[in-house]
Chain A
Amino acid sequence: MIALGKPDRQTDVLVVGGGISGLQTALDLADQGYQVTVVERQPSIGGRMIALSKVFPTLDCASCITTPRMSAAAHHSGIDLLTYTEVDSILPEGAGHRVLVTHKPTYVDRDKCIGCRLCEYACDAEYPDPFEQGIAPIRAIAVPFTTAIPQKAILNAEYCMTCGSCARVCPTDAIDYDQQPVRESIQAGAVVIASGYALNALTAKPQYNAQRSGNIISPLTMERLLAPHAPHGRVLRPSDGKIPGSIAFVQCAGSRDETVGVAYCSRVCCMYAIKQAMLLSGALPIADITIYYMDIRAFGKGYEQFYQNAKAMGINFVRGKVARIEPVDSDDLLVHVEVTEEAAGAMQKRRHDLVVLAQGMIPQWNPSVASPVRLGGDGFVATPDATSPASTHVPGIFVAGTAAGPKDIVDSIAEAGAAAMEVSRYLYQHAAKAGGPGTAPAPRRVALKLAATGS
């Protein structure tokens, strides 16, 4: 066994991932008085949710309901946020786990940066903004997005021309072109993996030809096109900036499909497609919107009613697995589909301006390479305890949200709470065993204060 030495930092709980699941877990633990450290690989917390337009079925704007959680975590005395930090390994050590992390260089001294954005305004280099899914540019040095936490500039060395403009305008002398990665060793009583999901490639199904057309887009791009503070302020298709008159959603374009290696259902695509279709029919009232699907899986609370509303709004639901998407003239797309519900059924070709492919959800991170955690056959973290959906094979390591399989926000929130509960139980039992301070000895029968009222 490698000697890990003295840790640089101690924490009750380390949460891997600062998306909505990780933040909820952190808040539910910190509200009980535990000290929590959240490690996020991106420059800001907020995860996938902060980049969404609105959420189903309430149609709340995602920013409006995510920012309070982000802000609550940032201001909580029991929560430390380590952003732009990678987890290298999670190893059992003492009564808990030792987590080795690397703080990636942002080339900005985060203690000095005041988020004034003068560097951003002075910078002449641009690259496709990852937060905007590449549909808008961002400067090589910039605060990642309006609602980012922390509000600190970050420099992308790949696009920086080292012209020195940012360093010249920075009022606090925070720019540091020579910044190096910094490793840190953290001793945690327990660990929660909330590393979230990624999407499989837009080109996963070659017959959909996403590699040949810019007008076949990811649902996350559609989220940005529909966001209240969207880069273009309206929905334009990528190839020529035309306002699309006919938009198609092709469901199960990377799930329920063994040919792409994802046989399972990604669980959220039906609902976000319906939501996006509704938002589109608001933004483009005369547009024709079609959802090609196999089954509409509107299973959550209020979801079926949401689906029925979308049907009543005139969104076309066409049952059929799309066989092929063919780029044609004027950058339009021909969708080949077998329509099973109409008497005149059989194969049809339908023309659309813009196609959204429902990509499949896959794990964002493989924790089994960095920790003793085991995965299920689907690649997500396995949860072997039938009575505890948040427990992994390793005592002291728990899982929350989409790291344990596709799920929507509300189910992620519930599992995040459950993970926080399992952690609290685990830490309490350990402290009790160790006779640590603050733990009462196990009471004898009936600690409950009951009073008989007579009969």
Chain B
Amino acid sequence: MNDKTASGSGPANPSAEALRIGVYICRCGGNISDVVDVERVAEVCRHLPGVVTANVHTFMCSDPGQKNISEDIRNEKLNRVVVASCSPFLHELTFRGAVQRGGLNPYLYEHANIREQCSWSHKHDPQGATAKAIRLIAAAVGKLRYAEPLDQIRLPNQRQALVVGGGVAGMKAAADLAGRGIPVLLVEQSERLGGQVNRWNRVFPTEQPAAELLGALRKQVEGHPRIEILLRSRVTKISGFIGNFQVTVEGQIGPAGRRTEVAVTVGALVMATGFLPYAPRDGEYAYHRHPAVLTTPEFLELLRHAPDAATLQFQGRPVRSIAFIHCVGSRQVDGVQEPQADGKINNYCSRVCCTTVLQQALAVRQRFPETEVFDLHQDIRTYGRGHEDYYIQASQAGVIFFRYHGDEIPTVAPRTDAPAGAPPLRLTFKDYLTWGEELTLDVDMLVLAVGMTAGTCQSLVEQLKLPCGEDRFLQEIHPKLRPVEISVNGVLLAGAVQGPMNIRETLAAAGAAAVKAAAILAKEQVELNPYVAQVDADLCEGTGQCVEQCEYDGALRLVQVTNGDGKARQRAEVNPGLCVGCGACVAVCPARAINLNGWRLDQYEAMVDGLVAEAPALAAATA
């Protein structure tokens, strides 16, 4: 955070007598105080050793709440701060900022979670919750007793970016970053840019030819002096951290088109690997059981080549009727649809299929006026700007709509007994626009509106340890406020790699990802969390057990050091850029020579003491 107050190390660790701890308890507008007796908590906390003030506020995270903390630090000469509120996931950084604005080192602050881990989980036990809140705060106070000022680790930033995937999202992100002055390497595995949209005809809602849109994007990236495009290439190796990712790309690179490798170091990485259309199983709605059952991309291909006529033609036969089924591979229901290969069902909505179907249905009615169109949906989700018009126009153009329930999906059977020239496919379903009436519908063609499934970026997911959600798409940090960031710093999500979205939404997400990358790359240095392992060279015996335990390549290694006595010894050494602070090394060190800054063993012990303190001891504190 770029703050108005300059950072700086706070005072050194004071002796126990000199501790001046402020405790700040949040009501969270009732989220906490409806269950926890916060006034009583404050009263008890005022008597904990080292605590000089304990205050309650309705919203500690609000500006007045934060100001309360900063001003107390100055006026009450506080040298440690505890905030008891929601999860640190939400507000640790907020309060670190407030502490810093008060002139204190931001790591002399501890967060006690009395909402998610207390008031919300013990809603029906106010007394118990109040007692637990006191213990959680006592633990934080104990931990602070041994806290030391820490500084963020600053490392040089490689001010260039890697964009993985050359579809709409990747091209947009690359064009944005290069347009902002940042060099970009754009890696695409296929032989051309454009991704899935290469298969599209026209894009909704503008009806612009997809090729034209892709052309406009290509023009922004091809030949750009700051963009290097590698086609038929893939990222084979990636390691490192924000500001410093080491990447190896393999592909047919160079004029000879020889298979070769290049290495590049980048400060930020944009994932734009896109999605795959859902592939129906053999037999799902008679797919692959009858040639006239197509998916939406396949139908698009047919439409692209079909000449305008009274009736659409398919394999030399007139198509007098087409049915579209929505939600194929989306909104699946447990026990109704067969699970996918990984045992899960696709219970999510794919967002784009409704408008896609109506766009295609309308195109059929306009280009082939004697081809009837039937639409079988659960809900028509034409939510976007200009999308509802497709629904209105399709209705006006004579598309006939039926509504099925997700737990009673239509059945499709090829009609073996159909007389020559009769429609070869029979659909049976219950229509809930007409009171659940059971209907049969015979059609010449069936189009399955297939949804979006997560794309293929397994190797990067594994190497960077990127989290994926239940839906297999990459999992953003917060689905509301941080949709393009992921828990690995320096990696941004652009487009359908994060979840189904249409082109306009993809462009927006790519821009949002690019701007986050630009903010990272705008700085000469990156600032990293100081919670990394630290070796006490005097205690270290050089057994190497910590190195064996470490899962992060290069984070820990053994080095030769020469002591004053002239003897060479082995000692463990931490690379703070690569250490993630997991603590695996701490657990195995026989000499207790390795510790995590901010989470040292003596701090854990003090926390446990605070948590398990006899209730009478806490009560006595109030006496």
Contacts and interface: CB of A to CB of B under 8 A. Distances in A.
A77 interface: yes
Given A305-B348, A416-B512, A68 B379 contact: no
Nearest to B436: A343
Contact of A418 (B263, B383, B392, B508): B508
A136 B458 CA distance: 54
B398 interface: no
Contacts of A305: 347-348
A323 interface: no
Interface string B510-527: 111111101100100000
Interface string A403-415: 0111001110111
A448 B185 contact: yes
Interface stretch (A145-153, A217-225, A239-247, A329-337): A145-153
A447 B225 contact: yes
Contacts of B164: none
Contacts of B388: 256, 263-265
Contacts of A421: 176, 180, 511-512, 514-515, 518
Interface stretch (B1-9, B13-21, B538-546, B606-614): B1-9
B179 interface: yes
Interface in B133-187: 158, 160, 172, 175-176, 179-181, 183-185
B354 to A, nearest CB: 8
Nearest to B259: A455
B62 interface: yes
Nearest to B380: A295
A413 B160 contact: no
Nearest to B499: A301
B217 A413 contact: no
B481 A413 contact: yes
A417 interface: yes
Given A64-B90, A71-B66, A340-B432, A78 B2 contact: yes
Interface residues of A, number: 104
The prevalent SS among residues of A at the interface is loop
Contacts of B518: 32, 421, 424
B226 A448 contact: yes
Contact of B519 (A28, A148, A265, A453): A28
A312 B350 CA distance: 21
A420 interface: yes
Contact of A413 (B185, B212, B512): B512
B28 A64 contact: yes
A406 B217 CA distance: 26
Contacts of B2: 30-31, 76-78
A67 B522 contact: no
A452 B4 CA distance: 43
Contacts of B481: 65, 69, 409-410, 413
A235 to B, nearest CB: 14
A159 interface: no
Given A265-B382, A301-B498, A448-B264, A418 B432 contact: no
B585 interface: no
29 contacts: A32-B519, A60-B480, A64-B28, A71-B63, A71-B94, A76-B4, A146-B59, A146-B62, A227-B29, A228-B28, A228-B31, A229-B30, A233-B30, A263-B389, A265-B388, A267-B384, A295-B379, A296-B379, A298-B381, A301-B498, A303-B349, A340-B434, A386-B216, A404-B385, A414-B483, A418-B509, A421-B512, A443-B225, A452-B260
Interface of A: 28, 30-33, 55, 57-58, 60-61, 63-65, 67-72, 74-78, 115, 146-151, 227-229, 233, 256, 263-265, 267, 295-305, 308, 319, 340-345, 376, 378, 380, 386-390, 404-406, 409-411, 413-422, 424-425, 428-429, 432, 439-440, 442-455
Interface of B: 1-4, 28-31, 34, 58-59, 61-64, 66-67, 86, 90-91, 93-94, 97, 101, 158, 160, 172, 175-176, 179-181, 183-185, 203, 206, 208, 212-213, 216-217, 220, 225-226, 228, 248, 258-265, 331, 347-349, 351, 379-389, 392, 403, 432-436, 471, 473, 476, 478-484, 498-500, 504-505, 507-516, 518-519, 522
